[in-house]
Amino acid sequence: MECRTVLEHSQALKEREYSSVELTQALLEKSRSCAGLNAFITLTEEQALEQASHADKLIAKGEGGPLTGIPLVHKDLFCTKGVRTTCGSRILDNFISPYDATLVERLEQAGMVMLGKTNMDEFAMGSSTENSYYGPTRNPWGHERVPGGSSGGSAAAVAARLAPAATGTDTGGSIRQPAALCGLSGIKPSYGRVSRYGMVAFASSLDQGGVMALTSEDCAYVLQAMSGFDKKDSTSIDQPVPDYVNALSDSISGKVIGLPKEFFTDGVDEEVAQAIRESISMLEGLGARTIDIDLPNSAAGIPCYYVLAPAEASSNLARFDGVRYGHRASEYTDITEMYEATRSEGFGPEVKRRLLIGAYVLSIGYFEAYYVKAQKLRRLIADDFSKAFEKCDVIVGPTAPTTAFPIGLKTDDPVQMYLNDVFTNSANLAGLPAMSIPAGFDGQGLPIGMHLIGKYLDEATILNVAHHYQLNTDWHRRIPEGYA
């Protein structure tokens, strides 16, 4: 039963094939036996069993909705009341949140059962989950390989069938890249669609919470439950949330798929490119039409993102100073030394690198040259998308240039690591919804992800196209060896 989708579990719970408590126990047991993946920072067994038994009571009374009693895991940067929230960092190693993030609260209200908190790159800075204070997460498709990042613990957990769904956050690709590298479906909604309240901030103008699961259909159900206006987040959008689930069955005949030549370049691994080309032909076979489009400022995406994200991070992370919560150094003589020692001990090397870059690009003399320039580029990148979407409904390409790479391969070369985001971070810069779905395997049996970018607030169309692709393929059904 562990390997089923959210919807299959939902059906089984309704038909009393097994209870939520039984399912929860089985998944916790499997999670303990797969501890070597290092997918979890914290397992919340007691709380999970309480939530599951509450869900079983609702189900017995014929109450609850499609997600009642369904287990999931949360990326460890969503605040969870009474449960440790570390953000993969030593500086928050002992932090127990006094409140729940809105997303956590909404999924609990929908009846979902939290199994635990997953491993991640420290403060979501990374593309491989190697930047965690708690050590790297392994990819279930190849234990010597990274699961992608920064939501790599969430992705590894779902890929290993330790949970049917997981939350993640995506600032420049952190839901879509791990989904691609672990063979999952993952969606980053439009900026503002899902509340950021209680989500530890990395780069506030780019961060978005979302979901990873086995299918687009499952993503639609979970996204539905987490979306919508929240008065506690001033950047959340006060717009009705469309019925994502209903929209899945719409025909994709006549839908126009834009293919930017900038996404089909030499930098893409040939096996990845081939799988994406075949997938596009399949979508054409289902009635979609393709056109060539231009995203002329794409090449500016990486430099633009790697100025703006660190700038925002340097401001957001100023709050971790050892005064109110989190780690505090034990040896210091005055308050300045306390700050210095706390932050030196509490942050890992990648976070420190970002804080230095961020402070630099915001400093007098460099602000105009870097920060303001990057903001202008961000506008151009967003305008490119607006123009492209006058002609198409969805933009398709590869999610990542390669499949999962070996642990350690890029840790000494931050720029190589940043280049993994080449196709993903422009959607964040423009605030657009985007998703990755499984689209094949390479010769080594590693999953390949296809990237779909939608119009602003139009999650429904990418979920719909992805769903039709999945009705006609079975990549998303494959299970890594040893995890069935």
> 452, 317, 447: which is closest to 389 by C-alpha?
452
Q: Using the rule CB under 6 A, is 170 a contact of ligand GLN?
A: yes
User: 454 - beta bridge partners?
Assistant: 394
Q: Using the rule CB under 6 A, is 166 a contact of ligand GLN?
A: no
Interface map 289-318 toward ligand GLN (x if CB under 6 A): --------------------x---------
**Residue matched to tokens 């997460």:** 137
User: Quick one: which segment of 119-127, 235-243, 259-267, 377-385 binds ligand GLN (CB under 6 A)?
Assistant: 119-127
Catalytic residue among 19, 20, 75, 132: 75
How far does CA 484 lie from the centroid of its chain?
24
Helix axes 216-226, 459-471, angle to 10 degrees: 150
Nearest approach, Cβ of 414 to ligand GLN (angstroms)? 9
- The verdict on whether 386 is a catalytic residue reads no
Which residue from 97, 129, 171, 402 is in contact with ligand GLN, where contact means CB under 6 A? 171
Nearest approach, Cβ of 369 to ligand GLN (angstroms)? 21
Q: Using the rule CB under 6 A, is 125 a contact of ligand GLN?
A: yes
Interface map 418-447 toward ligand GLN (x if CB under 6 A): ---x--------------------------
Q: Is 397 helix (H, G, I), strand (E, B) or coil?
A: strand
β-bridge pairing 289-293 and 256-260: parallel
Q: Using the rule CB under 6 A, is 56 a contact of ligand GLN?
A: no
Q: Using the rule CB under 6 A, is 179 a contact of ligand GLN?
A: no
Nearest approach, Cβ of 398 to ligand GLN (angstroms)? 16
User: Quick one: which segment of 24-32, 165-173, 217-225, 468-476 binds ligand GLN (CB under 6 A)?
Assistant: 165-173
DSSP H or E run through 49? helix 45-60
Nearest approach, Cβ of 118 to ligand GLN (angstroms)? 14
Q: Using the rule CB under 6 A, is 108 a contact of ligand GLN?
A: no
User: Quick one: which segment of 123-131, 290-298, 322-330, 443-451 binds ligand GLN (CB under 6 A)?
Assistant: 123-131
What residue spans of 98-243 are helical by DSSP H? 102-109, 152-159, 176-182, 216-226
Nearest approach, Cβ of 150 to ligand GLN (angstroms)? 4
What residue spans of 244-372 are helical by DSSP H? 244-247, 270-285, 301-316, 335-346, 349-361
Give the residue with the Cβ less far from ligand GLN, 217 or 421. 421
Nearest approach, Cβ of 126 to ligand GLN (angstroms)? 5
Q: Is 149 helix (H, G, I), strand (E, B) or coil?
A: coil
- CB of 244 closer than 8 Å to CB of 220: yes
Structure tokens at 18: 């097994």
Q: Using the rule CB under 6 A, is 152 a contact of ligand GLN?
A: no
β-bridge pairing 113-118 and 289-293: unpaired
Which residue from 150, 227, 402, 464 is in contact with ligand GLN, where contact means CB under 6 A? 150
Q: Using the rule CB under 6 A, is 167 a contact of ligand GLN?
A: no
- CB of 451 closer than 8 Å to CB of 435: yes
Rounded to an integer, what distance in angstroms lies between the CA atom of residue 102 and that of residue 91?
Answer: 23
- The verdict on whether 57 is a catalytic residue reads no
Q: Using the rule CB under 6 A, is 126 a contact of ligand GLN?
A: yes
Q: Is 106 helix (H, G, I), strand (E, B) or coil?
A: helix
Q: 439 to each of 243, 257, 373, how far by Cα in Å?
A: 26, 16, 36
Contacts with ligand GLN by CB under 6 A: the residue count is: 13
Catalytic residue among 20, 128, 150, 279: 150
User: Quick one: which segment of 170-178, 269-277, 392-400, 439-447 binds ligand GLN (CB under 6 A)?
Assistant: 170-178
Q: Using the rule CB under 6 A, is 172 a contact of ligand GLN?
A: yes
3-state secondary structure 210-274: EEEECCHHHHHHHHHHHECCCCCCCCCCCCCCCCHHHHCCCCCCCCEEEEEHHHCCCCCCHHHHH
- The verdict on whether 363 is a catalytic residue reads no
Name the residues that contact ligand GLN, by CB under 6 A: 124-127, 150, 170-174, 202, 309, 421
Please give the positions annotated as active site. 75, 150, 174
